Protein backbone atom coordinates (compact mmCIF):
# COMPACT_ATOMS: atom_id res chain seq x y z
CA UNK A 1 0.00 0.00 0.00
CA UNK A 2 0.95 3.63 -0.44
CA UNK A 3 0.78 5.59 2.83
CA UNK A 4 0.74 9.36 3.30
CA UNK A 5 2.03 10.55 6.68
CA UNK A 6 1.00 14.08 7.67
CA UNK A 7 2.88 15.94 10.42
CA UNK A 8 3.49 19.64 11.17
CA UNK A 9 7.28 19.21 11.35
CA UNK A 10 9.63 16.37 10.42
CA UNK A 11 13.20 15.16 9.88
CA UNK A 12 15.85 16.44 10.39
CA UNK A 13 14.14 18.09 13.38
CA UNK A 14 14.13 15.64 16.28
CA UNK A 15 11.16 15.73 18.66
CA UNK A 16 8.59 13.32 20.05
CA UNK A 17 5.84 13.54 17.41
CA UNK A 18 8.42 13.99 14.65
CA UNK A 19 10.27 10.84 15.70
CA UNK A 20 6.98 8.95 16.01
CA UNK A 21 6.10 9.64 12.36
CA UNK A 22 9.53 8.99 10.87
CA UNK A 23 9.74 5.64 12.68
CA UNK A 24 6.33 4.60 11.36
CA UNK A 25 7.34 5.59 7.84
CA UNK A 26 10.55 3.55 8.11
CA UNK A 27 8.67 0.57 9.56
CA UNK A 28 6.26 0.72 6.62
CA UNK A 29 9.14 -0.33 4.35
CA UNK A 30 9.64 -3.43 6.52
CA UNK A 31 5.95 -4.24 6.05
CA UNK A 32 6.17 -3.78 2.28
CA UNK A 33 4.50 -0.35 2.05
CA UNK A 34 5.57 2.85 0.29
CA UNK A 35 5.58 5.95 2.50
CA UNK A 36 5.54 9.69 1.78
CA UNK A 37 5.74 12.33 4.52
CA UNK A 38 4.13 15.73 3.95
CA UNK A 39 4.98 18.49 6.39
CA UNK A 40 5.58 22.23 6.67
CA UNK A 41 8.89 23.99 6.18
CA UNK A 42 9.04 24.92 9.89
CA UNK A 43 12.11 24.25 12.01
CA UNK A 44 11.08 26.36 15.00
CA UNK A 45 7.47 26.17 16.12
CA UNK A 46 7.41 29.98 16.04
CA UNK A 47 7.68 29.81 12.23
CA UNK A 48 4.16 28.38 12.16
CA UNK A 49 2.72 31.72 13.29
CA UNK A 50 5.40 34.34 12.56
CA UNK A 51 8.62 35.04 10.67
CA UNK A 52 10.67 35.00 13.87
CA UNK A 53 11.77 31.36 13.70
CA UNK A 54 13.99 29.27 11.48
CA UNK A 55 12.68 27.23 8.59
CA UNK A 56 13.99 24.65 6.11
CA UNK A 57 14.67 25.83 2.57
CA UNK A 58 14.77 22.43 0.89
CA UNK A 59 11.28 21.45 -0.33
CA UNK A 60 11.85 17.77 -1.17
CA UNK A 61 14.14 15.21 0.49
CA UNK A 62 14.69 11.49 0.16
CA UNK A 63 15.88 10.05 3.47
CA UNK A 64 16.41 6.30 3.93
CA UNK A 65 14.04 5.71 1.03
CA UNK A 66 11.28 7.95 2.48
CA UNK A 67 10.15 10.87 0.36
CA UNK A 68 9.63 14.06 2.39
CA UNK A 69 7.74 17.02 0.91
CA UNK A 70 7.73 20.33 2.80
CA UNK A 71 5.04 22.93 2.10
CA UNK A 72 5.74 26.59 2.93
CA UNK A 73 3.95 28.30 5.79
CA UNK A 74 2.35 31.56 4.64
CA UNK A 75 2.44 34.61 6.93
CA UNK A 76 -0.32 37.02 5.82
CA UNK A 77 -0.53 40.56 7.19
CA UNK A 78 -2.50 40.86 10.43
CA UNK A 79 -2.58 37.09 10.56
CA UNK A 80 -4.02 36.86 14.08
CA UNK A 81 -7.05 38.91 13.01
CA UNK A 82 -7.26 36.86 9.83
CA UNK A 83 -7.09 33.65 11.87
CA UNK A 84 -9.90 34.90 14.12
CA UNK A 85 -12.06 35.64 11.07
CA UNK A 86 -11.40 32.22 9.52
CA UNK A 87 -12.29 30.50 12.76
CA UNK A 88 -15.77 31.98 12.39
CA UNK A 89 -16.44 31.53 8.68
CA UNK A 90 -14.44 28.54 7.40
CA UNK A 91 -15.39 24.86 7.63
CA UNK A 92 -13.87 23.39 10.78
CA UNK A 93 -12.55 26.85 11.59
CA UNK A 94 -12.68 26.71 15.42
CA UNK A 95 -10.00 24.01 15.67
CA UNK A 96 -8.42 24.22 12.20
CA UNK A 97 -7.32 27.84 12.68
CA UNK A 98 -6.79 28.22 16.40
CA UNK A 99 -3.31 29.40 17.40
CA UNK A 100 -0.70 28.02 16.60
CA UNK A 101 -2.16 26.24 13.55
CA UNK A 102 -0.48 27.79 10.48
CA UNK A 103 -1.62 28.87 7.02
CA UNK A 104 -0.43 26.29 4.50
CA UNK A 105 -2.62 26.68 1.40
CA UNK A 106 -0.25 24.84 -0.95
CA UNK A 107 -0.71 21.59 0.99
CA UNK A 108 -4.48 21.91 0.71
CA UNK A 109 -4.20 22.42 -3.05
CA UNK A 110 -1.81 19.45 -3.36
CA UNK A 111 -4.25 17.24 -1.46
CA UNK A 112 -7.17 18.27 -3.68
CA UNK A 113 -5.82 15.81 -6.28
CA UNK A 114 -5.83 12.03 -5.95
CA UNK A 115 -2.18 11.03 -5.45
CA UNK A 116 -2.79 7.30 -5.26
CA UNK A 117 -2.59 6.93 -1.48
CA UNK A 118 -4.39 4.02 0.14
CA UNK A 119 -3.99 5.22 3.75
CA UNK A 120 -3.66 8.68 5.30
CA UNK A 121 -1.82 8.70 8.64
CA UNK A 122 -2.62 12.20 10.01
CA UNK A 123 -0.79 13.42 13.09
CA UNK A 124 -0.74 15.93 15.91
CA UNK A 125 -2.16 19.33 14.99
CA UNK A 126 -5.81 19.91 13.98
CA UNK A 127 -4.93 21.46 10.61
CA UNK A 128 -3.12 18.24 9.63
CA UNK A 129 -5.97 16.03 10.79
CA UNK A 130 -8.33 18.22 8.77
CA UNK A 131 -6.18 17.89 5.64
CA UNK A 132 -6.06 14.11 6.07
CA UNK A 133 -9.84 14.01 6.46
CA UNK A 134 -10.28 16.29 3.42
CA UNK A 135 -8.08 14.13 1.18
CA UNK A 136 -9.63 10.91 2.47
CA UNK A 137 -13.11 12.23 1.72
CA UNK A 138 -12.13 13.23 -1.83
CA UNK A 139 -10.25 10.06 -2.75
CA UNK A 140 -11.71 7.27 -0.60
CA UNK A 141 -8.38 6.54 1.10
CA UNK A 142 -8.52 5.14 4.64
CA UNK A 143 -7.83 7.55 7.50
CA UNK A 144 -5.83 6.86 10.66
CA UNK A 145 -5.97 9.82 13.06
CA UNK A 146 -3.28 10.37 15.69
CA UNK A 147 -4.29 13.58 17.51
CA UNK A 148 -1.49 13.50 20.14
CA UNK A 149 -3.98 15.29 22.38
CA UNK A 150 -2.00 17.04 25.14
CA UNK A 151 -4.80 18.19 27.39
CA UNK A 152 -3.30 18.34 30.87
CA UNK A 153 -3.64 16.09 33.89
CA UNK A 154 -6.57 13.70 34.25
CA UNK A 155 -8.33 15.77 36.92
CA UNK A 156 -6.90 19.14 35.79
CA UNK A 157 -7.34 19.54 32.01
CA UNK A 158 -5.81 22.53 30.26
CA UNK A 159 -8.39 25.30 30.45
CA UNK A 160 -7.86 26.79 26.96
CA UNK A 161 -8.73 23.53 25.21
CA UNK A 162 -9.42 23.91 21.48
CA UNK A 163 -8.71 20.39 20.26
CA UNK A 164 -12.36 19.48 19.87
CA UNK A 165 -14.04 22.85 19.30
CA UNK A 166 -14.67 22.45 15.55
CA UNK A 167 -14.76 19.38 13.30
CA UNK A 168 -12.13 17.33 15.05
CA UNK A 169 -14.61 15.28 17.07
CA UNK A 170 -16.30 14.29 13.81
CA UNK A 171 -12.96 13.58 12.10
CA UNK A 172 -11.89 11.31 14.94
CA UNK A 173 -15.23 9.52 15.08
CA UNK A 174 -15.15 8.83 11.30
CA UNK A 175 -11.54 7.65 11.12
CA UNK A 176 -10.90 4.00 10.37
CA UNK A 177 -9.13 3.97 13.70
CA UNK A 178 -7.62 6.41 16.16
CA UNK A 179 -4.26 6.07 17.87
CA UNK A 180 -4.06 7.11 21.52
CA UNK A 181 -0.74 7.61 23.28
CA UNK A 182 -2.06 6.99 26.79
CA UNK A 183 -4.96 5.44 28.67
CA UNK A 184 -6.13 8.96 29.57
CA UNK A 185 -6.16 10.01 25.91
CA UNK A 186 -8.01 6.84 24.92
CA UNK A 187 -10.75 7.68 27.43
CA UNK A 188 -11.06 11.16 25.91
CA UNK A 189 -11.96 9.58 22.57
CA UNK A 190 -14.40 7.17 24.13
CA UNK A 191 -16.08 10.18 25.79
CA UNK A 192 -16.60 11.89 22.42
CA UNK A 193 -18.19 8.81 20.89
CA UNK A 194 -15.39 6.72 19.38
CA UNK A 195 -16.06 3.00 19.89
CA UNK A 196 -13.30 1.50 22.02
CA UNK A 197 -12.63 -1.18 19.39
CA UNK A 198 -11.55 1.57 16.97
CA UNK A 199 -8.94 3.00 19.33
CA UNK A 200 -5.38 1.66 19.30
CA UNK A 201 -3.48 2.39 22.52
CA UNK A 202 0.09 2.65 21.24
CA UNK A 203 2.56 5.22 22.61
CA UNK A 204 6.12 5.76 21.46
CA UNK A 205 9.40 3.85 21.58
CA UNK A 206 13.17 4.00 21.38
CA UNK A 207 15.88 2.29 19.36
CA UNK A 208 18.10 0.47 21.93
CA UNK A 209 21.15 0.38 19.66
CA UNK A 210 21.33 4.18 19.71
CA UNK A 211 22.14 4.11 23.42
CA UNK A 212 24.88 1.45 23.33
CA UNK A 213 27.59 3.94 22.32
CA UNK A 214 26.53 6.76 24.64
CA UNK A 215 29.41 8.47 26.41
CA UNK A 216 28.75 10.38 29.66
CA UNK A 217 32.25 11.90 29.60
CA UNK A 218 31.54 13.46 26.19
CA UNK A 219 28.25 14.82 27.48
CA UNK A 220 29.86 16.34 30.57
CA UNK A 221 32.66 17.91 28.55
CA UNK A 222 30.09 19.44 26.25
CA UNK A 223 28.25 20.86 29.26
CA UNK A 224 31.44 21.90 31.05
CA UNK A 225 30.36 20.38 34.38
CA UNK A 226 31.75 17.92 36.92
CA UNK A 227 29.10 17.97 39.66
CA UNK A 228 25.80 15.99 39.50
CA UNK A 229 23.53 16.87 36.56
CA UNK A 230 19.76 17.32 36.75
CA UNK A 231 18.51 17.33 33.16
CA UNK A 232 15.30 18.60 31.58
CA UNK A 233 15.06 18.05 27.81
CA UNK A 234 12.04 19.64 26.15
CA UNK A 235 10.82 22.88 24.57
CA UNK A 236 11.00 24.87 27.78
CA UNK A 237 7.84 26.74 28.73
CA UNK A 238 5.49 27.33 31.64
CA UNK A 239 3.19 24.48 30.57
CA UNK A 240 6.12 22.09 30.41
CA UNK A 241 7.00 22.84 34.02
CA UNK A 242 10.27 24.65 33.33
CA UNK A 243 9.64 27.46 35.83
CA UNK A 244 8.72 24.91 38.49
CA UNK A 245 11.97 23.04 37.81
CA UNK A 246 14.02 26.21 38.24
CA UNK A 247 12.20 27.15 41.44
CA UNK A 248 12.66 23.66 42.90
CA UNK A 249 16.36 23.73 42.06
CA UNK A 250 16.80 27.23 43.51
CA UNK A 251 15.29 25.96 46.78
CA UNK A 252 17.77 23.07 46.85
CA UNK A 253 20.74 25.32 46.02
CA UNK A 254 19.77 27.61 48.88
CA UNK A 255 19.82 24.53 51.15
CA UNK A 256 23.41 23.81 50.08
CA UNK A 257 22.89 21.12 47.42
CA UNK A 258 25.58 21.08 44.74
CA UNK A 259 24.42 20.16 41.27
CA UNK A 260 23.95 21.67 37.80
CA UNK A 261 20.54 22.09 36.18
CA UNK A 262 20.70 21.54 32.41
CA UNK A 263 17.84 22.94 30.33
CA UNK A 264 18.32 21.14 27.01
CA UNK A 265 16.17 22.19 24.07
CA UNK A 266 14.69 25.47 22.83
CA UNK A 267 13.62 28.01 25.44
CA UNK A 268 10.29 29.71 24.69
CA UNK A 269 9.62 33.39 25.49
CA UNK A 270 7.84 32.90 28.84
CA UNK A 271 10.85 31.06 30.28
CA UNK A 272 13.32 33.44 28.61
CA UNK A 273 11.60 36.26 30.48
CA UNK A 274 11.61 34.31 33.74
CA UNK A 275 15.33 33.55 33.36
CA UNK A 276 16.07 37.22 32.71
CA UNK A 277 14.30 38.18 35.93
CA UNK A 278 16.00 35.32 37.75
CA UNK A 279 19.42 36.54 36.65
CA UNK A 280 18.79 40.12 37.76
CA UNK A 281 17.38 39.13 41.16
CA UNK A 282 19.58 36.22 42.15
CA UNK A 283 22.97 36.86 40.64
CA UNK A 284 25.17 33.81 41.20
CA UNK A 285 22.29 31.31 41.13
CA UNK A 286 22.42 31.32 37.34
CA UNK A 287 25.87 29.77 37.53
CA UNK A 288 24.10 26.50 38.34
CA UNK A 289 22.09 26.51 35.09
CA UNK A 290 23.32 25.42 31.65
CA UNK A 291 21.06 26.20 28.69
CA UNK A 292 21.94 24.27 25.53
CA UNK A 293 19.30 25.33 22.99
CA UNK A 294 18.13 22.76 20.44
CA UNK A 295 19.96 19.44 20.82
CA UNK A 296 20.53 17.35 17.65
CA UNK A 297 19.62 13.68 17.83
CA UNK A 298 23.25 12.55 17.86
CA UNK A 299 24.03 14.72 20.93
CA UNK A 300 20.92 13.83 22.97
CA UNK A 301 22.21 10.40 23.92
CA UNK A 302 25.47 11.67 25.41
CA UNK A 303 23.57 14.33 27.38
CA UNK A 304 21.27 11.63 28.75
CA UNK A 305 24.27 9.54 29.70
CA UNK A 306 25.78 12.54 31.52
CA UNK A 307 22.64 13.13 33.61
CA UNK A 308 22.06 11.82 37.11
CA UNK A 309 18.32 12.61 37.12
CA UNK A 310 15.93 13.40 34.24
CA UNK A 311 12.89 15.63 34.82
CA UNK A 312 9.65 15.85 32.83
CA UNK A 313 7.06 17.60 35.11
CA UNK A 314 5.05 18.79 32.10
CA UNK A 315 1.29 19.00 31.67
CA UNK A 316 1.54 19.08 27.85
CA UNK A 317 3.22 15.74 27.16
CA UNK A 318 1.03 13.50 25.10
CA UNK A 319 3.29 10.56 25.87
CA UNK A 320 6.74 11.51 27.24
CA UNK A 321 9.37 9.95 24.97
CA UNK A 322 12.12 11.62 27.02
CA UNK A 323 11.17 9.26 29.85
CA UNK A 324 11.93 6.29 27.61
CA UNK A 325 15.24 7.81 26.50
CA UNK A 326 16.24 8.41 30.11
CA UNK A 327 15.40 4.82 31.07
CA UNK A 328 17.26 3.48 28.03
CA UNK A 329 20.26 5.32 29.50
CA UNK A 330 19.61 3.79 32.94
CA UNK A 331 18.55 7.10 34.52
CA UNK A 332 15.85 7.73 37.13
CA UNK A 333 12.98 9.98 36.10
CA UNK A 334 10.56 12.42 37.69
CA UNK A 335 7.45 12.81 35.57
CA UNK A 336 3.98 14.31 35.85
CA UNK A 337 0.47 12.88 36.18
CA UNK A 338 -0.23 13.63 32.51
CA UNK A 339 -0.07 11.94 29.11
CA UNK A 340 1.45 8.48 29.08
CA UNK A 341 3.67 9.03 32.11
CA UNK A 342 1.25 7.59 34.70
CA UNK A 343 0.91 4.51 32.46
CA UNK A 344 4.69 3.96 32.53
CA UNK A 345 5.98 5.32 35.83
CA UNK A 346 5.18 3.39 38.99
CA UNK A 347 5.60 6.11 41.59
CA UNK A 348 8.43 5.17 43.94
CA UNK A 349 9.37 2.06 41.94
CA UNK A 350 10.92 3.06 38.60
CA UNK A 351 10.60 6.83 39.09
CA UNK A 352 8.52 9.51 40.73
CA UNK A 353 5.35 11.33 39.66
CA UNK A 354 4.48 14.87 40.75
CA UNK A 355 1.55 17.15 40.03
CA UNK A 356 2.15 20.01 37.63
CA UNK A 357 3.14 23.10 39.59
CA UNK A 358 3.92 21.25 42.86
CA UNK A 359 7.35 22.77 43.42
CA UNK A 360 7.74 21.48 46.99
CA UNK A 361 7.20 17.83 46.01
CA UNK A 362 9.41 18.20 42.94
CA UNK A 363 12.23 19.60 45.08
CA UNK A 364 11.78 16.79 47.61
CA UNK A 365 12.00 14.08 44.93
CA UNK A 366 15.10 15.64 43.35
CA UNK A 367 16.70 15.83 46.81
CA UNK A 368 15.89 12.17 47.55
CA UNK A 369 17.49 11.01 44.31
CA UNK A 370 20.56 13.25 44.62
CA UNK A 371 21.29 11.81 48.06
CA UNK A 372 20.70 8.17 47.14
CA UNK A 373 22.82 6.84 44.23
CA UNK A 374 21.62 3.29 44.88
CA UNK A 375 17.99 4.35 44.45
CA UNK A 376 18.90 6.22 41.25
CA UNK A 377 20.55 3.11 39.81
CA UNK A 378 17.67 0.85 40.87
CA UNK A 379 14.97 3.07 39.37
CA UNK A 380 16.94 3.58 36.17
CA UNK A 381 17.53 -0.16 35.72
CA UNK A 382 13.87 -1.05 36.33
CA UNK A 383 12.90 1.52 33.71
CA UNK A 384 15.50 0.21 31.27
CA UNK A 385 14.20 -3.35 31.56
CA UNK A 386 10.63 -2.19 30.87
CA UNK A 387 11.72 -0.21 27.80
CA UNK A 388 13.64 -3.16 26.33
CA UNK A 389 10.72 -5.48 27.02
CA UNK A 390 7.87 -3.30 25.73
CA UNK A 391 8.99 -0.03 24.15
CA UNK A 392 11.33 -0.58 21.22
CA UNK A 393 10.29 1.13 17.98
CA UNK A 394 10.05 -2.24 16.24
CA UNK A 395 7.49 -3.50 18.76
CA UNK A 396 5.50 -0.25 18.73
CA UNK A 397 5.35 0.11 14.95
CA UNK A 398 4.56 -3.57 14.43
CA UNK A 399 1.46 -3.13 16.61
CA UNK A 400 0.45 -0.20 14.40
CA UNK A 401 0.82 -2.12 11.13
CA UNK A 402 -0.83 -5.25 12.45
CA UNK A 403 -3.84 -3.15 13.38
CA UNK A 404 -3.80 -1.44 9.99
CA UNK A 405 -3.81 -4.83 8.28
CA UNK A 406 -6.85 -5.88 10.33
CA UNK A 407 -8.90 -2.79 9.46
CA UNK A 408 -10.94 -2.33 6.34
CA UNK A 409 -9.74 0.57 4.21
CA UNK A 410 -10.98 2.47 1.23
CA UNK A 411 -13.64 4.58 2.90
CA UNK A 412 -14.37 6.57 6.01
CA UNK A 413 -16.51 5.11 8.76
CA UNK A 414 -20.17 6.14 8.30
Per residue in 61-92, pLDDT (tens digit) is 999 999 999 999 999 999 999 999 999 999 89
User: Can you give the residue range of the structural domain that contains 256?
Assistant: 208-390
Residue 51's CB is within 10 A of a number of other CB atoms, namely 9
**353 and 329 in one domain?**
yes
pLDDT at 413 over 60: no
**187 and 175 in one domain?**
yes
How high is the pLDDT of residue 280?
53
HSE of 176 in the Cβ direction (CA atoms, 13 Å)?
24
Per-residue pLDDT, averaged over 94-102, amounts to 90
**183 and 59 in one domain?**
yes
pLDDT band at 411 (very low <50, low <70, confident <90, very high): very low
Angle, CA of 407, 391 and 401, to the nearest 5°: 20
Instruction: Indicate the pairing of strand 142-146 with strand 152-153.
Output: unpaired
**275 and 194 in one domain?**
no
How high is the pLDDT of residue 277?
81
How high is the pLDDT of residue 414?
34
Please report, for the domain that includes residue 24, its CATH number.
3.40.50.2000
| pLDDT tens-digit series, residues 120-172 | 999 989 999 999 999 999 999 999 999 988 777 877 777 656 677 889 999 99
Nearest-Å Rg of the Cα atoms of the chain is 21
**273 and 193 in one domain?**
no
Total domains in the fold of the chain: 2
How high is the pLDDT of residue 375?
97
Cβ atoms of 137 and 412 closer than 8 Å = yes
pLDDT at 20 over 80: yes
Would residue 169 count as lying in a domain? yes
Amino acid sequence: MKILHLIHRTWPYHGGAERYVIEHALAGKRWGHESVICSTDAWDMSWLVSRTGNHIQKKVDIWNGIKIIRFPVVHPPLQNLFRALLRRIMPCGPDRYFYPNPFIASLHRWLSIDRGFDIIHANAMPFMLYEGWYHSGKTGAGLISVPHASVGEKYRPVSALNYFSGCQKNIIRKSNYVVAQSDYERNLYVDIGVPSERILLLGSGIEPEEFVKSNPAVGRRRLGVKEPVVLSMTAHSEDRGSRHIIEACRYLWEKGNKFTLVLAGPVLPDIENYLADHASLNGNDCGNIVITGYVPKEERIDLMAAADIVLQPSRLECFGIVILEAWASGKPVIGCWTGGMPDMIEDGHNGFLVSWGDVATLANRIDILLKNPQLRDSMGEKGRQMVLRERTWEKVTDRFYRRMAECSTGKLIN
